[in-house]
Amino acid sequence: MTPRVLIANRGEVAVRIARAASVLGWQSVAVYAPDDAGSLHVRRADRSMALPGRGAAAYLDPAALIRAAQEQEATHVHPGYGFLSENADFARACAAAGLVFVGPDAETLDLFGDKSRARELAQQLGIPVIPGTDGPTTLAQAQEFMQAQNSVEGGDSAIMLKACSGGGGRGMRVVTDLGALPDAFEQATREARLAVGQGDLYAERLVTRARHIEVQVLGDGQDVTHLWERDCTVQRRHQKLLEFAPAPHLPQGVRTALIGAALQLARAVKYRCLGTFEFLVTPEGDCFFIEANPRLQVEHTVTEAWCGTDLVTAQLRLSCGETLAAVGQPIRPADAAPPSGQAVQARVNMETLDASGQASVSGGTVQTFTPPSGPGVRVDTFVTTGLTPSPQYDALLAKVIVNRPGDALPALLRQLDAALSEFQVGGVGTNLPLLRAMLHHPDMPGYDLSTRWLDEHLPELVAASEAFETVPAAQSAGAAPGPSAALASSELPSPEPGTERLTAPTTGLLLAYQVAPGERVRRGQCLALVEAMKIEFQIEAPQDGVVLACHLAPGSSVSLGQPLLDLTVEEDGGPEAESVRRDLNILPSSYASWQERLHATTDEARPAAVQKRHAAGKLTARENVAALLDEGSFNEYGALALAAQRGRRTQAELLALSPADGLITGVGTVNAAQFPDAATCAVAAYDYSVMAGTQGHFNHLKLDRLVALAAQWKWPLVLFAEGGGGRPGDTDVQTASALVTPTFLSFAALSGQVPLVGVVAGYCFAGNAALLGCCDVVIATRDSSIGLGGPAMIEGGGLGVVAAGDIGPVNVLAEKGVVDLVADTEAEANHLARRYLSYFQGDVTGWEAADQRELRWVIPEVRKRAYDVRALLNLLADTGSVLELRRAFAPGLVTALVRIGGKAFGVIANDPAVLGGAIDAAGADKSARFLNLCDAHRLPLLSLIDTPGFMVGPDSEAEGAVRHVSRLFVRAAKLSVPFFAVVTRRAYGLGAQAMAAGGLHAPALTVSWPGGEFGPMGLEGAVRLGYRRELAAVSDPQEREALYQKLVIQAYAQGEAVNVAAHLEVDAVIDPAETRDWLLRTLRAAPYSTERHEGGIVDPW
């Protein structure tokens, strides 16, 4: 029977265990709390099952875990680290249920899970321990011990309070003043109980200058061996941040002593499975045993990287009764020579730091997650892009481990720094800058450190970390609250006058209220406690008053700025009832729920999200809508929608996480002052601050509704498309394939029926990009990236790890023709969108134009000299009216919207400065698509012709030129708007016919400027081909050249504009200064329908 292991844990360790099980051919079962459903471990295991409860409590429920194991027919239960990993009762319950507990037996857990009993064993074996209390200690006993230490030390002596059970720095407090002991004792008790469900403490003397070194032990129940030591000295408030293997600069004698003590302890209990024995080592070389961790450690990975041993597969095999020899672990003596090489691990946490170094959990959605890679680099994590980690769990996001040969510590530090510099995390704040600042500190290479080193240097390291900031502040501090936020400020009525609303100072956990509603309080009194990153924050009364309301339940997770309680001050007297008059500015109380829900959708209700966008130099989705539309014109549709995740989140969470379901839709006006009768415009703006702008069930429905209205009423539609594509977390809607979403079909059906404008500022991937590609024009800021697959999809498809910014950057896509207009800022992009729409809204008055006589001098008198066709166009068009599209794509052919006499035109023009004005395959595509755009939206067209024809030759044909250039003929043949052709200089061959909509008589008007040249091809070439025999018959070279020149002159005379006009092949030769007049007169004489054709489209390409 294939073993099946239930992983009674979460996060990166659950992923690690699932991978180890896979290596062994075992099956794995993941469990998860509802607020943890997006974690990678849920998908990495072969099976997954939801647990009842939320947060850490879900993983601390032994009965629920055993039921899950039985339902999934598991054979083994792996507890990981933390939670129930050291709980002997859980191990016994597993055994009683017929499940193998992957870890030591219950008796060993009883012993080493109680740190005070472990100290007793060490003392019995003669292993030094730090002086301390015996067993679970009361506050009175701790006070007595501290007083005794003061007497021994001859003054004030600091002590350490430590939890009897658990690890990870939970339930630890340094106490330097006897008067502070009661509060510290209460805090440590509470923290330990929350972490492992048991709050017993003991006390020991504080060793102020020591290194923290631990020994990795393995046992099979008969004998034990070791994998040498790890150094965990670099820790902040007892939380390890860097771990080294081996311990840097550790004397061999000290190493042997530590390993010997660890083996002695393990053999005394016939240890089985993995275990870690931890010591403090003073600068003098004294070693003190502090605790044993009878489980897998967070930092086991650094030992794996150094020694090349898979500890988790070894642990699983040992749990099945295999021997150390069978799993490839010989019985090593304490003084065995360590392996060569070295490794270091850095813990990347989701946190923000203030100037003093105090850490707070940072909430938000992970918008970018690109771990480092390369030789000697390993990353263990549970995070993927789009995940919103819950603040109810440990802040660890990832572990970065590097290893290298040799023992040069500076080289190892440089390698880790290089890896951390590659690590890109966006959307949540991390300690990456702090880690890099630590690596660059001058104390680090010599490693003359103690466990207090980091705490003592935190302020300077925080300041130094600013130099290593690589993620905008918008993606760190103040990020949007995570999914466990229980109550947002937008869900509460505004405080009454005289009421003070007190809010959470950080993202974290509400530990307790110290007061109750109706209780009178004094200024400075502690009202509530919030815990984050092992630090408790007191919420103090800012003034005397009475508690009006407490808004949350103790144990709730809170986000920065979330309301906790209201405090009111009694006022003297009060208004008489009869004097009270109704204030018409105040809404009836029955409106409160609606008002709260509506307010939750506003930027004012989401200051953290707004701050993040602004810090990144970007506008919010609502600010973009406001910038596009005329002030006060917006009617929003579907504002109260929330994500389709009611089955896994509360309404309070959804209000905080998914206002408007991440898509703002509605209708307003654009340019109403100029075009009052044609100003209506629909707008849809994906909100990147809501679930990374992803496409959820209800925002699809919102867009479907808007598209139907736009189709019915012929509204132009502007799409702000920043976002990450489909959202897999919408669990309320059952679907097998998710391939029946009608949004893409209905949006595409708008093509050619109304102007469609796509705007991007940032990342636009997958489904968002598919909608963007359906738009007539794409406007993008220079920092945007557009692609049909984002980093997660690319990595998931086995195509490697790619940074989001490397997928479809704008500079590349503009050259490929995907992006029509490039803007430097969102403000400019919005201006361009308004300007683009104006060409389809009607005529303008008050226009100005350049002196048209300047056109007589634009074309060089030297017939083969290039000139600036854009200068020509700017002279011909109304001043400031030229809007060129797709300028970077196929630059030899200009496509632009212009106004002439206030009337909108589309213009195509050859640029003689590029390829001599020849039309290549891309140029043909560009012009054909532009003709399609103008025809669909009923703009007359003007062609400015100066071309030697189509490009020819092998290279051109390799681009599929035949099909591409023929598109231009086919598209021109279907035009139903007036088309005008002006030959400015050369009109040769099929290229000139294509530029003239298929032939010189196809346009409503074909004219030439004086100096125009016409012919079936370049005249010199035509002479050489047409008179090949005559020229070959002349033997004298000089005579042959004379004949050739004579024939060329004749050809030019035949093809000059006046002669062509005389043969009625063009309608007139005109003064360039009169071009505008000719065009406007002909336009008036050629009335046409401005109604769009049903079924027409604008080709996306």
Report the distance separating Cα 737 and Cα 733, nearest Å.
12
Beta carbons of 209 and 282 less than 8 angstroms apart: yes
Report the distance separating Cα 488 and Cα 559, nearest Å.
8
Beta carbons of 49 and 61 less than 8 angstroms apart: no
Kindly give the pairing relationship between strand 893-900 and strand 100-101: unpaired
Return the C-alpha torsion angle 80, 85, 89, 91, nearest 10. Answer: 40
Beta carbons of 1034 and 1040 less than 8 angstroms apart: yes
**What pLDDT, in 10s, does the model give residues 817-838?**
999 999 999 999 999 999 999 9
Q: Which of 542, 549, 544, 554 is nearest to 565 (CA)?
A: 549
Tokens linked to 607? 């200051």
Sign of CA dihedral 335, 337, 342, 347: negative
Kindly give the pairing relationship between strand 211-220 and strand 883-885: unpaired
Q: What is the pLDDT of residue 491?
A: 65
Per residue, what are the HEC states of 686-752? ECCCCHHHCECHHHHHHHHHHHHHHHHHCCCEEEECCECCECCCCCCCCCCCCCCCCHHHHHHHCCC
CB-CB neighbours of 554 under 10 Å: 12
Q: Which residues pair with 982 in a beta bridge?
A: 944, 1007
Looking at residue 230, the DSSP 8-state letter turns out to be E
Q: What is the pLDDT of residue 494?
A: 85
Report the distance separating Cα 282 and Cα 834, nearest Å.
70
CB-CB neighbours of 673 under 10 Å: 8
Report the distance separating Cα 299 and Cα 401, nearest Å.
10
Beta carbons of 42 and 9 less than 8 angstroms apart: no
Beta carbons of 663 and 694 less than 8 angstroms apart: no
The vertex-1024 CA angle with 1021 and 1027, nearest 5°, equals: 135
Contacting residues for 293 by C-beta, under 8 A, at least 6 apart: 81, 86, 112, 167, 214, 275, 276, 277, 278
Kindly give the pairing relationship between strand 508-513 and strand 526-532: antiparallel
Homologous superfamily of 616-838 in CATH? 2-enoyl-CoA Hydratase; Chain A, domain 1 (3.90.226.10)
Beta carbons of 318 and 218 less than 8 angstroms apart: yes
Say how many CA atoms lie within 13 Å of 874 toward its Cβ: 7
Residue ranges in the chain whose pLDDT is less than 50: 471-489, 571-582
Beta carbons of 384 and 40 less than 8 angstroms apart: yes
CB-CB neighbours of 424 under 10 Å: 18
Task: Judge whether 4-102 and 855-1012+1056-1085 match in fold.
Answer: no
Report the distance separating Cα 280 and Cα 599, nearest Å.
55
* Cα–Cα distance list, 965 to 843, 886, 960 (Å): 33, 18, 9
Residue type, 347: R
Contacting residues for 470 by C-beta, under 8 A, at least 6 apart: 421, 424, 432, 433
- Mapping DSSP to helix (H, G, I), strand (E, B) and coil, where does residue 54 land? coil
The domain 855-1012+1056-1085 is placed in CATH, from the list 3.90.226.10, 1.10.10.10, 3.40.50.720, 1.20.120.450, at 3.90.226.10
Report the distance separating Cα 761 and Cα 822, nearest Å.
10
Contacting residues for 30 by C-beta, under 8 A, at least 6 apart: 7, 14, 18, 41, 42, 44, 45, 47, 48, 49
CATH topology of domain 209-339: D-amino Acid Aminotransferase; Chain A, domain 1 (3.30.470)
Q: What is the pLDDT of residue 196?
A: 63
Please give the helix or strand (H or E) that residue 985 lies within, else none.
strand 979-988
Token pair 């990495």: residue: 44
Q: What is the pLDDT of residue 770?
A: 97
Residue ranges in 125-177 assigned as alpha helix (H): 139-153
Number of H helices, E strands in the chain: 36, 47
Beta carbons of 1086 and 978 less than 8 angstroms apart: yes
Contacting residues for 845 by C-beta, under 8 A, at least 6 apart: 902
* Cα–Cα distance list, 10 to 241, 809, 843 (Å): 20, 36, 64
Q: Which of 896, 745, 737, 757 is nearest to 829 (CA)?
A: 757
- Mapping DSSP to helix (H, G, I), strand (E, B) and coil, where does residue 847 land? coil
Token pair 């041993």: residue: 309
Q: What is the CA radius of gyration of the chain?
A: 38
Residue 109: phi and psi, rounded to 5, are -65, -40
Q: Which of 750, 856, 841 is nearest to 1072 (CA)?
A: 856
Looking at residue 864, the DSSP 8-state letter turns out to be T
Residue type, 376: G
Q: Which of 251, 206, 818, 718 is nearest to 455 (CA)?
A: 206
Q: What is the pLDDT of residue 576?
A: 36
Beta carbons of 886 and 908 less than 8 angstroms apart: no
Do you find a cis peptide bond into 246, omega within 30 degrees of 0? Answer: yes
Say how many CA atoms lie within 13 Å of 1043 toward its Cβ: 16
**The pTM is what?**
0.51
CB-CB neighbours of 182 under 10 Å: 13
Residue 1024: phi and psi, rounded to 5, are -60, -40
Domain ranges of the chain: 4-102, 131-206, 209-339, 342-475, 489-571, 616-838, 855-1012+1056-1085
Report the distance separating Cα 649 and Cα 116, nearest Å.
41
Q: What is the pLDDT of residue 487?
A: 46
Report the distance separating Cα 352 and Cα 347, nearest Å.
14
Report the distance separating Cα 625 and Cα 667, nearest Å.
10
Report the distance separating Cα 725 and Cα 792, nearest Å.
11
Tokens linked to 426? 């966006």
Residue 499: phi and psi, rounded to 5, are -110, 135
Contacting residues for 808 by C-beta, under 8 A, at least 6 apart: 769, 785, 786, 787, 818
Say how many CA atoms lie within 13 Å of 135 toward its Cβ: 0
Per residue, what are the HEC states of 251-289? CHHHHHHHHHHHHHHHHHCCCEEEEEEEEEECCCCCEEE
Residue type, 49: M
578 CB burial (10 A radius; 0-12, 13-18, 19+)? exposed
Tokens linked to 1006? 């074909």
Report the distance separating Cα 36 and Cα 47, nearest Å.
15
CATH number given to 4-102: 3.40.50.20
Separation of CA 108 from chain center: 45
Top CATH class of 489-571 equals: mainly beta
Does 3.65.10.10 match the CATH number of domain 342-475? no
CATH topology of domain 131-206: Dna Ligase; domain 1 (3.30.1490)
